[in-house]
Structure 1
């Protein structure tokens, strides 16, 4: 949850209603994890509303094909609201509550089982960096910067950063990044696989939305199954993974998306995966 000093602000938290923080258009569930207030720090209302919406996706009461995480200000997310930490009557209790709520959002991202796109514009520090590491597709620009930002305020990472970062960049590099509070440039993030694509500064939000909409218009159940295969691959042997892949592709072949996709290919037409939604 920690915040980068480079983007800290004394501005009052934004008072946007929860409805503006979670939207659903064209099959994309968009969650604003930060607002322009308090230096684009993690927004409590956005976290709570986002977790609730994602649980609805997991239960089947929301039918979406992709999740888009974004920030409403000039940055994606500068981490937790450190001024709120300082003002808490009981800091340990307050930080535990904030961390638990944040982790509910992270857990709900995985329970929803939908591809996650992040519009990583500007700073992604602390909790913001943690969320970028949970993306299936992360879009940034040349001005994007990632930073752990925890040790600068004497705290330890949350949001799963100590789990995701070593798996993304290797244990040695992850330790160096976190323990030196290294600022990661956009080029480094792209090279190390933390960002998927770099676009122009003003195009990050629109490019991320376009990716999310493209994913949402496709075979949603197949995408969810593919995401599951990718998520378990690190813990499986090759033979175990081959078994899972064979089972999955066989199952998909008998389901509406697989039938439509194969028939459309043979019929030389575009597949329509939206029928029946």
Structure 2
């Protein structure tokens, strides 16, 4: 297993840590493939009911390792970087039928920022920052930045951030609706894990259907979305977790969901 990714399972939460702290967890080819492998493993592992994606060291992820793309021997080329590294990561994040929390522990720049924003719930430490750094070196946002950012904060603000490359603080990111919330430095690690553990204990079949419905809402019209909600609600109502939830409500007790 690659040392560029660290994984541990805690209370049905797979904590995946980007682990190249010496280069602020910037992506090279090895780490990109290692993250894909771990996401696939988490998708199929029944013990895992939620995923927490974070970074080791001072940064969450500084984006692409520029040393790799400027090295004539190592450079895989931008076509490979996008089609083999980042695009599959984004597709996995959105297709995995488990909630994924991005716990942004420091700077999230370029592809690092956009990978975080593709997750289901994004939290950050108060010292974190989000930067669409692409324009600073003559590139365009990738890793679905042009897809998710305008939907999160609006077209005009997204356009300005993508072009100007402003650094956005965690507090500002929360205010804009870019992230769910931020925590103090002291609270961050405990609270982000607590959030992931809470999701892991919820009816994760229903959460997976909710995630799928939100994915479809990005392209569906109203009629299509209403029909999809009906379909998914019928599916959710057939789960054991729905029956457990109703029984727990009637019996005035805490439900014991199993993701079934």
TM-score by length of 2: 0.89
Q: Deviations 1:77-128 (Å, cap 9, x if unpaired)?
A: 111111222223374x433333322222221112312211011122110111
1:225 is paired with a residue whose SS is helix
Structure 1 runs (4+) deviating above 6 angstroms are: none
Indicate yes or no: 2:213 matched with 1:213.
no
Gap runs ≥5 in structure 2: none
Q: Verify: 1:98 aligned to 2:63, yes or no.
A: no
The alignment covers a number of residue pairs equal to 259
Residues 14, 48 of structure 2: 8 Å contact kept? yes
Partner of 1:48: 33
- Give the SS at the match of 1:271: coil
Relative to 1, partners in 2 of residues 1:110 and 1:263: Cα closer, same or farther, differing over 3 Å? same
Q: Per the alignment, do residues 28 and 184 of structure 1 end up closer, same or farther by CA in structure 2, a change over 3 Å counting?
A: same
Please show how residues 214-229 of structure 1 align to structure 2 within 5 Å: 214-229=198-213
Aligned residue in 1 for 2:218: 234
User: Is the contact between residue 34 and residue 41 of structure 1 (CA under 8 Å) also seen in structure 2?
Assistant: no
Alpha-carbon contact 2:106-2:129 (below 8 Å) kept: yes
Offset at residue 63 of structure 1 (A): 4.2
Residue 26, structure 1, aligned to residue 21, structure 2: no
Counterpart pick for 1:266 among 250, 256, 260: 250
Compared with structure 1, are the counterparts of its residues 106 and 22 closer, same or farther at alpha carbon in structure 2 (3 Å cutoff)?
Answer: farther
The answer as to 2:3 corresponding to 1:17 is: yes
Asked if structure 2 preserves the Cα contact closer than 8 Å seen for 1:34 and 1:77, the reply is no
The TM-score with structure 1 as length reference comes to: 0.84
Partner of 1:198: 182
Following superposition, the deviation at residue 179 of structure 1 comes to 0.8
Separation in structure 1 between the aligned mates of residue 66 and residue 219 of structure 2, nearest angstrom = 36
Q: CA deviation at 1:240?
A: 3.0
C-alpha separation in 1, matches of 2:93 and 2:192: 17
Q: 2:111 maps to which residue? A: 127
The secondary structure found in structure 1 opposite 2:60 is coil
Q: Distance in 2 between matches of 1:163 and 1:269?
A: 42
Q: Does 1:174 align with 2:158?
A: yes
For 1:88 and 1:210, the matched residues in 2 are separated by: 44
Are positions 1:66 and 2:50 aligned together? yes
